[in-house]
């Protein structure tokens, strides 16, 4: 996951149904914060996401992130959150727009193309 995410311009982490029971996803969140600039990450949530637990988890992981993390120098963590409730065309369009926005913000060497959009951390069945 780390290698793929580090080569990508946008990372989508699916946090629908995220709660304290999702230890594996908590690990992935920590790895993302340690290796991928927050501007390249979009967090997908819905009404089944434990938003309070997610905020606590992200705050703790950001505070404790590795000294080599690209996010370590940030004074404040700002995350891109996509709300998905009905999976409507409008919500999907907004999600794709957020992913493209994060890809556009990424700087590419001349003559290269953007990497893949990565989906990580599926927490629902």
Q: Residues with Cβ < 8 Å from 108, sequence gap 6 or more? A: 9, 114
Structure tokens at 48: 């089944």
3-class SS of residue 14: strand
pLDDT digits (tens, 9 = 90+) for 1-29: 777 776 778 889 999 999 999 888 999 99
The structural domains of the chain, with segments of one domain joined by +, span: 2-120
pTM confidence score: 0.76
Q: What does the alpha-carbon distance between residue 51 and residue 48 come to, in Å, rounded to a whole number?
A: 9
CA distances from 83 to 47, 101, 110 (A): 8, 16, 34
pLDDT at 115 over 60: no
């Amino acid at each position: 996951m780390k290698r793929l995410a580090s080569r990508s311009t946008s990372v989508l982490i699916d946090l629908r149904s995220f709660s304290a029971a999702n230890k594996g996803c908590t690990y992935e969140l920590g790895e993302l914060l340690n290796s991928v600039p927050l501007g390249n990450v979009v967090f997908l949530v819905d009404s089944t996401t434990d938003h309070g637990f997610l905020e606590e988890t992200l705050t703790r992981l950001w505070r404790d992130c590795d000294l080599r993390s690209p996010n370590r120098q940030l004074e404040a963590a700002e995350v891109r959150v996509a709300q998905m409730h009905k999976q409507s065309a409008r919500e999907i369009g907004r999600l794709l727009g957020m992913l493209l926005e994060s890809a556009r913000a990424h700087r590419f060497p001349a003559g290269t193309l953007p990497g893949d959009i990565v989906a990580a951390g599926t927490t629902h069945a």
